[in-house]
């Protein structure tokens, strides 16, 4: 119970993540690894569980097997309390052969789950963001102001407005207009250069949600941001919840208040990793008062036989043999051989960086073998012939793209 209300959560975890390709070639966007031990979906799930919202349906769709396995291994809540669960829900096809057609349609296809649980409020949250949030504070605000729907919001540069739902509010934070990914957005009053954006996290009064979903389905509408919310702003009290007022315990003095990143592009995903590193990170991955829960460690501790390591994260089972690793994230079971150099990189599970190889400003997915003497990140023209290279020059090597007989294998 939060503010006297029973809350059921739906997490939208079906994202295809085309802009994160090739990291999403074999997995959905929420299942993409992040940091030394996590996946992107762990952030929203941790926020909900830390907020004592323990009844969670995870709606999946595209390339979902990796995500399903992660939830099964890492997110089993106690089976002895019936209202404590995280359940993966693929498309059920109750209303025809179609997959989920959008965020609203995905919840519509699972309204029977709402009928079973009978909550007072339904939280509909995205699964694609890096942040900490006490969801209880949003629920309490929703109840306090008598809202029908609450939308978590924060300012974003107007140059980025086309990637978000943009909100126009009055002095009471009531939303008067909702535009989904407009090409141009005016600045907020008193904050030139910034527009107020939806974070894709909503709190609904249950009866209104059910009624709105039935109406949307009958009208051929499928999306909350594009269809449902704009209509509700004309007939109900839809308010913006200011995420910048949300406070979680245990933050360090260097951390950015209201830290939230949409890691939907290679550049945003890459940059967010480095926000978590160094002596004064913008977002500290370790917070015992508000943990981001992770997969259990199955390997032994990392080992440094010799070498030079600076401002880096070493996952369990990794080994450094006389190499240089600078400002990089090495996930589980990564081997870096003698005289190799890894600079400003994200290296995923079971990858080998061979002797004398040099890699910089790259993302290397799982199960790759970087041959001895290889050079990656030093010649963009050559790299583009072999790999995906982002607009800003980040080289991305897909899962298992570089292998030799006997190189590490696995999912």
SS3 state of residue 382:
helix
Q: Which of 262, 293, 320 is the last residue of a domain?
A: 262
Closest by alpha carbon to 110, among 81, 87, 129, 126? 87
237 in any annotated domain = yes
Cα 21 from Cα 265, distance rounded (Å): 9
153 in any annotated domain = yes
Owner of token pair 């799982």: 366
DSSP annotation of 126 reads E
Mean pLDDT along residues 79-98 = 72
Looking at the fold, whether 171 and 317 belong to one and the same domain comes out as: no
**CB neighbours of residue 168 within 10 Å:** 18
The enclosing domain of 87 has a CATH number of: 3.90.550.10
The enclosing domain of 331 has a CATH number of: 2.160.10.10
Specify the pLDDT at position 79. 66
Looking at the fold, whether 199 and 149 belong to one and the same domain comes out as: yes
Specify the pLDDT at position 411. 40
- How far out from the chain centre does Cα 358 lie? 30
Provide the domain limits for residue 360.
303-397
Looking at the fold, whether 179 and 326 belong to one and the same domain comes out as: no
Model confidence pLDDT, tens digit, residues 103-121: 898 999 899 999 999 999 9
Q: Which of 231, 262, 293 is the last residue of a domain?
A: 262
157 in any annotated domain = yes
Cα 45 from Cα 24, distance rounded (Å): 20
- What total of structural domains would you count in the chain? 2
Instruction: Please name the residues in contact with 169: beta carbons below 8 A apart, sequence gap of 6 or more.
Output: 175, 176, 196, 239, 240
- pLDDT above 70 covers a percentage of the chain that reads 95
Cα distances (Å, whole numbers) of residue 185 to 137, 169, 197: 28, 13, 10
Looking at the fold, whether 35 and 95 belong to one and the same domain comes out as: yes
The pLDDT confidence band at residue 94, using thresholds 50, 70 and 90, is low
**H runs (alpha helix) in 199-259:** 206-218, 229-232
Looking at the fold, whether 243 and 336 belong to one and the same domain comes out as: no
Q: Is the pLDDT of residue 122 over 70?
A: yes
Peptide bond before residue 22 is cis, with ω within 30 degrees of 0? yes
What's the count of helices (H) and strands (E) in the chain, helices before strands? 9, 25
Any bridge partners for residue 369, and if so which? 352
Closest by alpha carbon to 173, among 107, 243, 110? 243
Mean pLDDT along residues 358-372 = 97
Model confidence pLDDT, tens digit, residues 197-238: 999 999 999 999 999 999 999 988 888 988 999 999 999 999
150 contacts 133 by C-beta, under 8 angstroms:
no
Q: Which of 206, 232, 262 is the last residue of a domain?
A: 262
Specify the pLDDT at position 300. 86
Cα three-residue angle 99-100-101, rounded to 5 degrees: 105
Check residues 190 and 11 and name the one with the higher pLDDT. 11
376 contacts 359 by C-beta, under 8 angstroms:
yes
31 in any annotated domain = yes
Cα 48 from Cα 8, distance rounded (Å): 10
Any bridge partners for residue 153, and if so which? 198, 242
Looking at the fold, whether 194 and 323 belong to one and the same domain comes out as: no
The DSSP H or E segment spanning 74 is: helix 65-74
Mean model confidence pLDDT for the chain: 92
273 in any annotated domain = no
Model confidence pLDDT, tens digit, residues 170-196: 989 999 998 888 888 888 888 899 999
84 in any annotated domain = yes
Most confident of the following: 143-157, 222-236, 298-312: 143-157
Model confidence pLDDT, tens digit, residues 382-408: 999 999 999 999 999 999 999 875 444
Model confidence pLDDT, tens digit, residues 18-27: 899 999 999 9
Instruction: Please name the residues in contact with 267: beta carbons below 8 A apart, sequence gap of 6 or more.
Output: 390, 391, 392, 394
267 in any annotated domain = no
Looking at the fold, whether 57 and 186 belong to one and the same domain comes out as: yes
Q: Is the pLDDT of residue 34 over 80?
A: yes
Cα 338 from Cα 322, distance rounded (Å): 5
| Residue 405, token pair as written in the block | 């007989």
Specify the pLDDT at position 408. 44
Q: Is the pLDDT of residue 281 over 50?
A: yes
The DSSP H or E segment spanning 33 is: strand 33-34
Q: Is the pLDDT of residue 33 over 90?
A: yes
Looking at the fold, whether 308 and 226 belong to one and the same domain comes out as: no
**CB neighbours of residue 173 within 10 Å:** 19
224 contacts 103 by C-beta, under 8 angstroms:
yes
Cα 335 from Cα 367, distance rounded (Å): 11
Looking at the fold, whether 337 and 205 belong to one and the same domain comes out as: no
The DSSP H or E segment spanning 67 is: helix 65-74
402 in any annotated domain = no
Looking at the fold, whether 23 and 95 belong to one and the same domain comes out as: yes
Looking at the fold, whether 223 and 87 belong to one and the same domain comes out as: yes
394 contacts 380 by C-beta, under 8 angstroms:
no
Closest by alpha carbon to 200, among 13, 23, 46? 13
The pLDDT confidence band at residue 410, using thresholds 50, 70 and 90, is very low
Looking at the fold, whether 57 and 196 belong to one and the same domain comes out as: yes
Which class for 29: exposed (0-12), middle (13-18), buried (19 or more C-beta within 10 A)?
A: buried
**CB neighbours of residue 269 within 10 Å:** 26
């Amino acid at each position: 119970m939060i503010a006297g209300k029973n809350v059921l959560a739906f997490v939208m975890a079906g994202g295809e993540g085309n802009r994160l390709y090739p990291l999403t070639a074999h997995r959905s966007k929420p299942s993409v690894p992040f940091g030394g031990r996590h996946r992107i979906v762990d952030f929203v799930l941790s926020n909900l569980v830390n907020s004592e919202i323990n009844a969670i349906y995870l709606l999946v769709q595209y390339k979902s097997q990796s995500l399903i396995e992660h939830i099964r291994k890492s997110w089993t809540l106690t089976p002895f309390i019936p209202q404590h669960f995280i359940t993966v829900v693929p498309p059920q096809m109750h209303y025809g052969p179609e997959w989920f057609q959008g965020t609203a349609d995905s919840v519509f296809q699972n309204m029977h789950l709402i009928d079973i649980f009978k909550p007072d409020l339904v939280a509909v949250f995205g699964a694609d963001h890096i942040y900490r949030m006490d969801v209880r504070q949003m629920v309490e605000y929703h109840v306090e102001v008598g809202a029908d729907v609450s939308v978590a919001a924060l300012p974003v540069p107007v140059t980025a407005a086309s990637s978000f739902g943009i909100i126009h509010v009055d002095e009471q934070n009531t939303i008067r207009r909702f535009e989904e990914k407009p090409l141009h957005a005016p600045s907020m009053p008193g904050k030139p250069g910034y527009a107020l954006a939806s974070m894709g996290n909503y709190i609904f009064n249950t009866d209104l949600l059910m009624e709105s979903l039935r109406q949307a389905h009958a009208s051929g509408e499928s999306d909350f941001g594009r269809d449902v919310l704009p209509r509700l702003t004309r007939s109900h009290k839809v308010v913006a919840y200011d995420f910048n007022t949300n406070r979680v315990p245990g933050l360090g003095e260097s951390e950015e208040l209201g830290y939230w990143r949409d890691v939907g592009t290679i550049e945003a995903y890459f940059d967010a990793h480095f926000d978590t590193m160094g002596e004064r990170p913008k977002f500290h991955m370790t917070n015992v008062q508000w943990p981001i829960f992770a997969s259990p460690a199955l390997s032994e501790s990392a080992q440094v036989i010799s070498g030079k390591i600076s401002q880096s994260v070493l996952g369990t089972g990794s080994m450094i043999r006389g190499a240089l690793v600078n400002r990089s994230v090495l996930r589980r079971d990564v081997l870096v051989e003698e005289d190799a150099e890894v600079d400003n990189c994200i290296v995923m599970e079971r990858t080998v960086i061979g002797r004398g190889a040099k890699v910089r400003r790259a993302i290397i997915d799982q199960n790759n073998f970087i041959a001895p003497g290889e050079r990656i990140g030093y010649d963009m023209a050559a790299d583009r012939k072999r790999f995906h290279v982002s607009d800003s020059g980040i080289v991305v090597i897909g899962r298992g793209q570089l292998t030799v007989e006997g190189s590490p294998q696995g999912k």
